[in-house]
Amino acid sequence: MRALIAIVLSCFAVVSLAAERAPDLVLRGTLSGADQHTYREVPFEVPKGTSRITIDVDYTGRDEKTTIDLGLLGPGGFEAQDGFRGWSGGGKHRFTVSATDATASYLPGAIGPGTWKLLLGIPNIRAASKASFTAKVWLSGDDEGFGPEHGLTGPLSTEDRWYRGDLHMHSAHSDGNCLNASGTKKVGCPLFLTVTSAAKRGLDFIALSEHNTMSQVSELREMQPYFDTLLLIPAREVTTFEGHANLFGVSRTVDFRVGSKAVPDWNALLADVPRAHGVISINHPRRPNDETCMGCGFTPRRPVDMHGFQAIEVVNGRDTERADTGLPFWESQLNAGVRITAIGGSDSHIGSDDARDAFAGVIGTPTTAVHAKALSMEGILDGIRAGHVFIDVDGTRDRTLDVDASVGAAHAGMGDAIAVAGGAILHVDVRTKAPPGARVVVTVDGKADAGKPVSGDGAVAFDWTSDGKAHWLRVDVRSAEGKLLLLGNPVYINH
């Protein structure tokens, strides 16, 4: 049963902060002038249980115009129905294939055990020349986490800072739509337009979260090198009759049928998320779950261990001023002792970054800001896991929030824990960039104060006296009229 419902992470072409692991196989060979205009098949064995093959090829002789083209054949070669797995010529030196996705030029499909062949074409090698090639091969199983050996590129930025993004959107790969080129009717919105809209918005990262599918992943592989300042994170919206949840960083097929014999409840689905190195977040938990929005609200039929989730989509689109905002749901989890990160997502279905659009779900509204060590998938997901997150409700490009809580030499930021003995004073420094008249509102265990005005330099400081018990303390920023502008994550006291 566990194997049927496991959520496991198949290695996807995105960035990791971890070091590249050693290849499972290294294939070597030599070429001479006699190999001009020939093809060579380099066989290697793929064991049962392999879910992804990644190959990186290098060769000598380029200074003498030697050229090697690349392709891949599965068991049975050209004669087999699915034996031809792609041809990239001389345009790529690294590629990957799996059941769910593949590098552009290659075909996704089942990775069967047996003899596979790296296909080399030699369009040019001079008669007197010699060259050697080396092919590193990684063979990944379902339980292997992300690794840079499967990536398209290194981190888009190695700066340790706040990065701004949108964690929830849809394209034609699910139910996203936009006007066709002639402007006459709505059609499935091409993924490229959705990503372009996010880039125009100035975002650092986005998660493409289609409903129960990862068909978009191969397109993301193709687009990531082009969008070299916008990190594309693989995600899906696990859409069930008992609620929705975004699953980030897991590319393998997931059985989403919560309530079925195969997946009896949410706990079964959540069981392997940590092993899969993924992050899963409950979406719009207080939406209705009826004919107006079937399955949208989080209404599990059986008790759920909320520790299985790493985040909650507290802000969905423009819902902070509505009765069904996720804020009370999140605070109830915090009060129950669950340390869980608040994130936001536009839930865009229209492929638009136009803030004048009358519909909810404009890309980048809200914006989720994540403090990460690098602009990479693992960097962003690690920041979410740690709670180093605030939400810019209006999706601006420049509003900021930093919180530093200290007692003695100990310091904690949003998402961190700090020990404060009874009677000791916790000093909190807040730095924010917000509109004139804004106020910093402090919430402790769900109870908010009246707020403190933000000074001209954006600084606010206050002290809080501990009773030695466990608490959570959150800093938000509201406008002069009381509208929520920036939602912080808590500092956890004595947790």
> Residue 472 — φ and ψ, nearest 5°?
-125, 140
Domains in the chain (CATH in brackets) are: 1-8+158-396 (3.20.20.140), 19-145 (2.60.120.380), 398-495 (2.60.40.10)
Four-residue CA torsion sign, 387, 392, 393, 395: negative
**Which amino acid type is present at position 372?**
A
Yes or no: say if 201 and 394 are a contact pair by the CB < 8 Å rule. Answer: no
Paired strand residues for 121: 39, 69
Q: pLDDT, tens digit, for every residue of 290-339?
A: 998 889 999 999 999 999 999 999 999 999 989 999 999 999 999 999 99
Q: What is the pLDDT of residue 293?
A: 87
- Gap between the Cα atoms of 339 and 341, Å rounded: 7
Q: pLDDT, tens digit, for every residue of 17-36?
A: 346 789 999 999 999 999 99
Is 70 exceeded by the pLDDT of residue 354?
Answer: no
What distance, in Å, lies between the first and last C-alpha atoms of the chain?
A: 35
Q: pLDDT, tens digit, for every residue of 227-261?
A: 999 999 999 999 999 999 999 988 778 899 999 99
Q: pLDDT, tens digit, for every residue of 201-233?
A: 999 999 999 999 989 989 998 999 999 999 999
Four-residue CA torsion sign, 12, 15, 16, 21: positive
- Taking residues 360-379, report their average pLDDT: 92
Yes or no: say if 367 and 411 are a contact pair by the CB < 8 Å rule. Answer: no
Q: pLDDT, tens digit, for every residue of 430-481?
A: 999 999 999 999 999 999 999 999 988 999 999 999 999 999 999 999 999 9
- Gap between the Cα atoms of 268 and 228, Å rounded: 37
- Gap between the Cα atoms of 245 and 247, Å rounded: 6
How many distinct helices (H) and strands (E) make up the chain? 6, 30
> Residue 350 — φ and ψ, nearest 5°?
-120, 0
Four-residue CA torsion sign, 439, 443, 446, 449: negative
Give the pairing of strands 25-32 and 130-141. antiparallel
Q: Which pair of structure tokens corresponds to residue 211? A: 């409903």
* Range of lowest pLDDT (8-12, 67-71, 369-373): 8-12
Q: What is the pLDDT of residue 147?
A: 52
With a CB cutoff of 8 Å and minimum separation 6, the contacts of 183 are none
Q: What is the pLDDT of residue 5?
A: 35
Q: What is the pLDDT of residue 273?
A: 79
Q: What is the pLDDT of residue 219?
A: 92
Q: pLDDT, tens digit, for every residue of 397-436?
A: 999 999 999 999 999 999 999 999 999 999 999 999 999 9
Q: pLDDT, tens digit, for every residue of 129-177?
A: 999 999 999 998 865 554 555 554 569 999 999 999 999 999 999 999 8
Paired strand residues for 161: 372
DSSP state of 353: -
Yes or no: say if 247 and 238 are a contact pair by the CB < 8 Å rule. Answer: yes
Q: Which pair of structure tokens corresponds to residue 210? A: 């289609």
- Gap between the Cα atoms of 2 and 16, Å rounded: 27
Mapped onto helix, strand or coil, the DSSP state of residue 452 is: strand
- Gap between the Cα atoms of 112 and 243, Å rounded: 35
Q: Residue 49, Cβ neighbours under 10 Å: how many?
A: 12
Mapped onto helix, strand or coil, the DSSP state of residue 273 is: coil
Yes or no: say if 32 and 61 are a contact pair by the CB < 8 Å rule. Answer: no
- Gap between the Cα atoms of 259 and 241, Å rounded: 8
HEC string of 159-181 equals CCEEEEEECCECCCCCCCEEECC
Is 80 exceeded by the pLDDT of residue 14?
Answer: no
Output the CA angle 230-308-338, nearest 5 degrees: 100
Four-residue CA torsion sign, 345, 351, 354, 356: negative
Q: pLDDT, tens digit, for every residue of 79-135?
A: 888 899 999 999 999 999 998 889 999 999 999 999 999 999 999 999 999 999 999
359 band by pLDDT with thresholds 50, 70 and 90: very low
Q: Give me the torsion for CA of 334, 337, 343, 349, rounded to 10°.
A: -80
Q: What is the pLDDT of residue 144?
A: 59
Looking up tokens 């040019």 gives 124
